[in-house]
Amino acid sequence: MSHEVRPASESIIRRYIFSLDHKVIGIQYFCLALVAAFLGMGLSLLMRLRLAWPDEKWPMLEMVFPTGFRGGLMQPEFYLAMVTMHGTIMVFMVLTTAPQGGFGNYFLPIQIGAADMAFPVLNMLSFWTTLLSFLVLVLAFFVEGGAPIGGWTFYPPLSAIPSAGPGQGLGADLWLVSIGIFCIGSLLGALNFITTTLNMRTRGMTLTRLPLTCWGWFTTAFIALLSFPVLLAAGILLLAERSLGMSFFNPGGLVVSGKLIPGGGGSPILWQHLFWFFGHPEVYIAILPGMGVTSHILATFARKPVFGYRVMVVAILAIGLLGFLVWGHHMFISGMNPTSSIAFSVLTLTIGVPSAIKTFNWLGTLWGGRIRFTSAMLFSIGFVSVFVAGGITGLVLGQTSLDILFHDTYFVPGHFHLIMGVAAIFGIFAATYYWFPKAAGRMMNETLGQLHFWLTFFGVYAIFIPFHILGIVGHPRRIAEVTGYDFLRPFGSMHVFITIAALVTAAAQLIFLVNLVWSIFRGARASDNPWEATTLEWVTATPPPHDNFGGKLPVVHRGPYEYSVPGESNDYSPQTEPERVIAGS
Amino acid sequence: MASTVTPSRPGVRGRADPGSGGIDKLPPVDGGDYGSGRRGPERTPPPEGYRIGVWLVLASVSMMFLALTSAYIVNQAHVLPLDFPRVFIVSTALILASSLTFEMTRRELRRRREAVFLRWLMVTLGLGFAFLAAQIIAWRHLVAGGFYVNTNRHSGYAYIFTGLHAIHLFGGMLALSYVVWKSRRGSWTAVRRRVSVDATAVYWHFLDGLWIYLLVILFFWR
């Protein structure tokens, strides 16, 4: 049907490994994120083992991690290394790669009617740079001292002093190098996304006809473009401090193991400012593509246009902009000026406004729709649920007076896991179930998808609601040793409950994995438009040809969500369908 | 019924789609290679992509240097002692000259004087190399004066700032060399080449301005 425009002499290497095709690159990113997600999940399960059964011996694990499990007992430093690497891998290698690099790379060019990204070579380089960063990060597990232990936030002075703990030597250097490389890969990608969206839309695809997925990717790219350089700057300074004996962050007078650490005059708070100026926009990078996908999928399966399309676009842009102004809410207990606290607090609560607008508009999209409860739809509705749950606790933490109590307790991971660890992941799942037929040419198994959803949905609430309770009680975070605190003694059984819920939920993800892999080979053949959706990716063949549209780029005549338009014969009108000319007008 | 437009070569009007009158007055959608000389779907974008791209690069690079500046201020590094290597005057002159020669390059390109354009381009590249050489000499002078990377925070920032600037300038030179290579090969259209040179010029002038800024905050700000 489509004629492939591709040189016959293209080698396997060029076609599938160092491919310039955005679709292949998207799949590469997705596979990287999949591997990273299971690795990160495994690390979290190790953490849960320690918290539920602190005195238990694990001889099998000691074989894999001899220094981490002396005598079979998990060492506290090992636990902290798990904390650090779990956070780093999940935030960077999963939530920053899959939604944007994975789905964005695959579907942005198609949804705007282009043949490829603006800079295909840069695209390929972005992926391989990101993969290199992942490999360098994982290398930290295999060097003397192991992985760093300072949390994914890597605060100095701990992170500035190589002798401060196991993993803080070479492991920490590798972490910094990895993150530096990741920044570069991310920046190259952001460049590509923005240029593509601005420059390569097909005829008729005005900005107001862009699917909300594209608006999500576009805004995310802008956020990445402006925030990752700050992380890079911070990383360069910290690496210089550690390896060249500088004192950008070292305040001086620090004693480690009885030895006075040289240097001084630096500011640990400086790192916090630099890191969180990046760190807060980073979490919007993690969630905005998921929001775009949610709007997209809700419209498709409710057979209704997105409620308030233009407002949704403004909300995405507002979240993107406001995200740069609130980093101080991660530093409320740093001793900052209370006036700054008020400013950051007010701005943080303000982000609740566009977020709430989006939530109500999602509900408005569903209202009165003829809903088709496919797996993708379930995960999108689930996204709304966990986004509200997680978002509400954000409003709690955004108030300085409350945050002073909750900072560094389990309340904070309760909040961000519901938003990032669940909602953003639900966005990834929804996108996978939705777009798998287009990319693989086969359908995923619906029964397994539904089972995956329900197990996961109840599982994540079972895991993370108790986190909030522990936080309210005052349970500190990032500690391996909880049995020493009298006030925490009654909560040992809660830790066991969480751990069992985590193990069950983790097992449920295997259902997804099996479904994914099995369906690639044995799934039912998919038609070009199995969901009867309107946007451009459903206009082209399944899977799309090398140049996306078989040599003829589409012309767009309609908006992205023309479902159930009165007077039309179908309950959906593809974007390429010309407007009906009414006789006599 | 999906509507499509048959691809055409750039500059050639596409055939009108029946029933969608008016299309033949619009420029062709695609099919051509946007003047890049590339075959296959991995076409590079319409040349405006380079212009957009370079402004995005400027935004990004600015953010990094702004972050480093704020760290520099918080660390109060400027109060610590640091020599001013006189060679920096030479390198400043070189980079300013290179911006001027870059403008000459662009002017000759607009006047379609191929050979002169390439000559000015080579001069610019040469001045870029000279700038980098001067920077290395300046760093050696700093070392000779006892200001190593880790002498104090002021010297640390000096090396980091000027080092990062030099890396970015080297990147600009790579971009310029790429333009030379592509021009020589003849696979680019005139439009694409002009846009590429213009985009690289923007980047180059930005680095020039950034250098002056760095000089000021490192050595002339109290």
What are A424-449's pLDDT values in tens digits? 999 999 999 999 999 999 999 999 99
For residues A118 and A104, what is the distance between their CA atoms, to the nearest angstrom? 13
CB interface of A with B, residues 195-214, below 8 Å? 195-196, 198-200, 202-203
A524, pLDDT greater than 80:
yes
Any domain includes B65: yes
Any domain includes B164: yes
- Smallest CA–CA distance, residue A225 to chain B, in Å, is 6
pLDDT, mean over chain A: 94
For B57, the closest chain A residue by CA position comes to: A191
CB interface of B with A, residues 101-160, below 8 Å? 149-150, 153, 156, 160
What range defines the domain where residue B95 resides?
Answer: 48-220
Answer yes or no: do B2 and A273 touch at CB < 8 A: no
For residues A425 and A582, what is the distance between their CA atoms, to the nearest angstrom? 45
Count the neighbouring beta carbons within 10 Å of the beta carbon of residue A302.
Answer: 26
CB interface of A with B, residues 17-36, below 8 Å? 20-21
* Out of A225, A232, A576, closest to residue B3 by CB: A576
Q: pLDDT tens digit string along A140-170?
A: 999 999 999 999 999 999 999 999 999 999 9
For residues A4 and A521, what is the distance between their CA atoms, to the nearest angstrom? 23
Q: Which residues of A touch B53 (CB under 8 A)?
A: 118-119, 191, 195
Residue-level length of chain A: 585
Q: Which residues of B touch A576 (CB under 8 A)?
A: 2-4
Q: Which of B141, B211, B201 is closest to B173 using CA atoms?
A: B201
The residues pairing with A476 across neighbouring beta strands, listed in sequence order, are: A409
**Band of residue A573 on the pLDDT scale cut at 50, 70, 90:** very high
- Identify the pLDDT of residue A470: 97
Which regions in chain B score pLDDT beneath 50? 1-32, 40-42
Answer yes or no: do A199 and B6 touch at CB < 8 A: no
Q: What CATH number is associated with residue B96?
A: 1.20.120.80
With a CB cutoff of 8 Å and minimum separation 6, the contacts of A107 are A26, A213, A435, A537
Where does B75-152 have alpha helices with state H?
87-110, 114-144
Answer yes or no: do B41 and A548 touch at CB < 8 A: yes
B186 inside 8 A of chain A by CB? no
- Smallest CA–CA distance, residue A163 to chain B, in Å, is 19
Dihedral sign (CA A403, A407, A411, A414): positive
- Residues B205, B209, B214, B220: what is their CA dihedral angle, to the nearest 10 degrees? 150
For residues A122 and A193, what is the distance between their CA atoms, to the nearest angstrom? 11
ipTM at complex level: 0.94
A230, pLDDT greater than 80:
yes
**Band of residue A7 on the pLDDT scale cut at 50, 70, 90:** low
B64 inside 8 A of chain A by CB? yes
Q: pLDDT tens digit string along A364-408?
A: 999 999 999 999 999 999 999 999 999 999 999 999 999 999 999
B8 inside 8 A of chain A by CB? no
Residue with tokens 């080449």: B193
Q: Which residues of A touch B75 (CB under 8 A)?
A: 248, 265-267, 270
Q: Which residues of B touch A237 (CB under 8 A)?
A: 68, 71, 160
Q: pLDDT tens digit string along A340-373?
A: 999 999 999 999 999 999 999 999 999 999 999 9
- Cis peptide upstream of residue A490 (ω within 30 degrees of 0): no
Any domain includes B179: yes
- Cis peptide upstream of residue A66 (ω within 30 degrees of 0): no
Q: Could you tell me the two tokens for A500?
A: 């069992």
B24 inside 8 A of chain A by CB? no
Report the Cα B124 to chain-centroid distance in Å: 12
Domains and CATH numbers, chain A: 20-250+265-538 (1.20.210.10)
A91, pLDDT greater than 70:
yes
**Band of residue A185 on the pLDDT scale cut at 50, 70, 90:** very high
Any domain includes B212: yes
Substitution target from A4, A15, A200 for chain B, most B beta carbons within 10 A: A200
Substitution target from A191, A192, A577, A579 for chain B, most B beta carbons within 10 A: A191
With a CB cutoff of 8 Å and minimum separation 6, the contacts of B211 are B91, B92, B95, B165
Q: Which of B172, B83, B94, B82 is closest to B134 using CA atoms?
A: B94
Answer yes or no: do A236 and B59 touch at CB < 8 A: no
Q: Which residues of A touch B43 (CB under 8 A)?
A: 115-116
- Identify the pLDDT of residue B183: 79
Answer yes or no: do B49 and A7 touch at CB < 8 A: no
- Identify the pLDDT of residue B5: 44
- Identify the pLDDT of residue B31: 44
Any domain includes B10: no
A1, pLDDT greater than 50:
no
Reduce the DSSP state of residue A563 to 3 states and report it.
strand
Report the Cα B196 to chain-centroid distance in Å: 10
Domain count, chain B: 1
Any domain includes B68: yes
Judge whether A474 and A408 are in contact, CB under 8 Å: no
- Smallest CA–CA distance, residue A164 to chain B, in Å, is 20
* Out of A5, A200, A237, closest to residue B41 by CB: A5
Judge whether A340 and A289 are in contact, CB under 8 Å: no
For A245, the closest chain B residue by CA position comes to: B150
Answer yes or no: do B75 and A202 touch at CB < 8 A: no
Q: What is the secondary structure of A68-127 as a DSSP string?
A: TEETTEEPHHHHHHHHHHHHHIIIIIITTIIIIIIIIHHHHHHHTT-SS-S-HHHHHHHH
The residues pairing with A442 across neighbouring beta strands, listed in sequence order, are: A525
Q: Which residues of B touch A194 (CB under 8 A)?
A: 52, 56
Q: What is the secondary structure of A358-370 as a DSSP string?
A: HHHHHHHHHTT--
Q: pLDDT tens digit string along B169-192?
A: 999 999 999 988 887 887 788 888
Q: Could you tell me the two tokens for B117?
A: 């354009």
With a CB cutoff of 8 Å and minimum separation 6, the contacts of B146 are none
Any domain includes B4: no
User: For a pLDDT cut of 70, what percent of chain A falls above it?
Assistant: 97
Answer yes or no: do B3 and A248 touch at CB < 8 A: no
Residue-level length of chain B: 222
Count the neighbouring beta carbons within 10 Å of the beta carbon of residue B76.
Answer: 12
Is the pTM higher than 0.80? The answer reads: yes
Q: Which residues of A touch B63 (CB under 8 A)?
A: 225-227, 229-230
The residues pairing with A264 across neighbouring beta strands, listed in sequence order, are: A252
Any domain includes B195: yes
Answer yes or no: do B29 and A229 touch at CB < 8 A: no
For residues A500 and A513, what is the distance between their CA atoms, to the nearest angstrom? 20
B81 inside 8 A of chain A by CB? no
For residues A37 and B108, what is the distance between their CA atoms, to the nearest angstrom? 54
Q: Which of A104, A558, A101, A447 is closest to A293 using CA atoms?
A: A104
Answer yes or no: do A6 and B56 touch at CB < 8 A: no
Q: Looking at residue A422, what DSSP letter applies?
A: I
Q: Could you tell me the two tokens for B5?
A: 């437009």
With a CB cutoff of 8 Å and minimum separation 6, the contacts of A549 are A2, A113, A115, A539, A540, B4
Answer yes or no: do A227 and B63 touch at CB < 8 A: yes
B73 inside 8 A of chain A by CB? no
- Smallest CA–CA distance, residue B56 to chain A, in Å, is 6
* Out of B4, B53, B150, closest to residue A246 by CB: B150
